[in-house]
Structure 1
Amino acid sequence: MRVVFTKGPGTSYEIAVHRETGATLAPRNGPGGHPYLPHDLLHFLVEVEAGIPRGVFGQLAAGDNGLFWPADPAERTKANRRRKTKGDNAHSRPKADLIRSEELVGMTLPVWEYRRGHARALPPPMTADTVPPLVERIVGRFDDYADRWHAMEVGGTLTVTW
């Protein structure tokens, strides 16, 4: 699966998912909010590095539509009907992996911001001596993408592969 992030003005971005399994998905706007690391890219990097199989992107790779809608209107109607009848919504996804993804994003972004001089301190109870090895690895992955994203012009793209 390929995930393409297209930079918009300010901290906005669009995300498109190209996958082998499931309906073709329509691109959607991301929540934005960070000038260096789009929120959905954080989840992607966390899930890959931590080996979270059924987080946001593992679900998409497995054929679930997640927060996306099928591009084909007929497929969109079918997906909407399934969600209503089967409860196939964000609450029925494997919660443990989604919670783990959110927790790791919440832990790693502040460490990255502190190390890059965008924050004055690490969030308690973390100290420079108590950053877990997994968080260190994820922060390193953030470094691989942050400067490229920040320097990118509006309309530029960044592609990652699951």
Structure 2
Amino acid sequence: MRVVFTKGPGTSYDIAVHRETGAGLAPRNGPGGHRYLPHDLVHFLVEAEAGIKLGVYGRLAAGDNGLFWPADPTERAKAARRRKSRPVKPSPQAQADMARSEELAAIALPVWEVRHGHAQALPAYVPAGEMPAELERIVSRFDAYADRWHALPVGGSLTLTW
């Protein structure tokens, strides 16, 4: 699966997913809010580095639509009917993986921001002391993409493979 993050004005961006399994998905706007590490890019990097199988991107690769809608109008209508008639409750493992993705992102991003002078101090919920190796790897992964994203012009893209 290829995921394309396209920079918009300010901190906005679009995200497109090109996958082998499931309906083709329409691109959507990301929540924005960060000049160096957009929210959806953070989750991609966290889930890839931590080996999270049923987070946002693993589920998309497996055919789940997540927060996306099928690009084909007929498929979109079918998906809307399915969501209304049979809401899908994620499995306990998928719920745990999503929670782990959120937890790691919530810790790793502020660590990266402090290390790079974009924040003064860590939030109180970030554990003090030595960082676990997994979090160090995630923060290093952020280092590999943050400046590349920031340097992109509006309309420029980063493509990552899941």
Question: Which residue of the partner structure matches residue 69 of structure 1?
Answer: 69
2:85 equivalent to 1:85? yes
Query: Normalization by structure 2: what TM-score?
Result: 0.94
**Could you list the per-position Cα deviations for residues 3-31 of structure 1 after superposition, in whole angstroms to 9, with x for gaps in the alignment?**
00000000000000000000000000000
What is the total number of aligned residue pairs between the two structures?
159
Q: State the 1:123 CA deviation.
A: 2.8
Question: Which residue of the partner structure matches residue 145 of structure 1?
Answer: 145
Structure 1 residues without counterparts, runs of 5 or longer = none
Question: Which residue of the partner structure matches residue 126 of structure 1?
Answer: 127
Q: How far apart, CA to CA, are the structure 2 residues paired with 1:96 and 1:83?
A: 22
- SS in structure 2 of the partner of residue 137 of structure 1: helix
Q: State the 1:97 CA deviation.
A: 0.8
- SS in structure 2 of the partner of residue 92 of structure 1: coil
Query: Normalization by structure 1: what TM-score?
Result: 0.94
Question: Which residue of the partner structure matches residue 48 of structure 1?
Answer: 48
User: Greater shift after overlay, 78-87 or 48-57?
Assistant: 78-87
Structure 2 residues without counterparts, runs of 5 or longer = none
Question: Which residue of the partner structure matches residue 13 of structure 2?
Answer: 13
**Could you list the per-position Cα deviations for residues 43-96 of structure 1 after superposition, in whole angstroms to 9, with x for gaps in the alignment?**
0000000000000000000000000000000000111111111112xx536211
Q: State the 1:132 CA deviation.
A: 1.3
Moved over 6 A (4+): none
Identity of matched residues, %: 71
Q: What's the RMSD between the two structures over aligned residues?
A: 1.1
- SS in structure 1 of the partner of residue 138 of structure 2: helix
